[in-house]
Amino acid sequence: MTSNRTFTMIKPDAVSNGHIGNIINDITSSGFKIIAMKYLHLTQSQAENFYGIHRERPFFKDLVSFMISGPIVAAILEKDNAVEDFRTLIGATNPENAAEGTIRKKYAKSIDANAIHGSDSNENADIESNFFFSSFERF
Ligand code: UDP
Ligand code: MG
């Protein structure tokens, strides 16, 4: 994957609070093109594997429980400088610290239920996209 793609998930809190449409609108009106998208409910082992890098962190168990508490939307997005620009669009991990107008500022309630995921590097964007999508599910 090239540096113009990133991976996102709309997390269970934002899905259950009815924000899918508003968040997708924020994403596409910020210039991101949707390359692939699916609506699914993660299993415990999928959530543990996806967040495996955080396995030793104190919040890991709660994070996994939260991520399997309801369905999510997973997507691959394309734009110049996608990873960095998307992290700017979503805002800080803790919505209390997120800039005005960012997705987490608008739709997240707390540091754990923070509405949306965005890859933090090109390498992780590639790994995370491959976790959810096969090559023939991308356009
Ligand atoms: N998280 C949490 N408590 C913390 C830090 C993180 O519950 O103290 C959760 C939160 O949902 C976050 C995810 O773990 O989005 C991954 O953490 P990371 O530091 O990678 O933040 P992100 O890259 O999502 O901003
Ligand atoms: Mg992260």
- pLDDT score, position 3: 79
Rounded Cα–Cα distance for residues 110 and 59 (Å): 13
Across the range 56-79, mean pLDDT stands at 98
Q: Which atom of ligand 1 is nearest to the CA of 11?
A: 11
Q: Does position 2 have pLDDT exceeding 70, yes or no?
A: no
Element (H, E) at 87: helix 82-90
Q: Does position 103 have pLDDT exceeding 90, yes or no?
A: yes
Verify whether ligand 1 is closer than 6 Å to residue 127 (CB atom).
no
pTM: 0.97
Verify whether ligand 1 is closer than 6 Å to residue 69 (CB atom).
no
User: Domain residue spans in the chain?
Assistant: 5-137
What percent of the chain lies above the pLDDT cut of 70? 99
- pLDDT score, position 119: 98
Q: Does position 1 have pLDDT exceeding 60, yes or no?
A: no
Query: What CATH number should be reported for the domain whose range is 5-137?
Result: 3.30.70.141
Is residue 130 within 8 A of residue 36, CB to CB? The reply is no
Across the range 114-130, mean pLDDT stands at 97
Across the range 88-96, mean pLDDT stands at 98
- Residue 38 gets the label, from left (phi > 0), alpha (psi -120 to 50) or beta, of beta
What's the gap in Å between 15 CA and the centre of ligand 2? 19
With 0-12 CB in 10 A as exposed, 13-18 as middle and 19+ as buried, what is 81? exposed
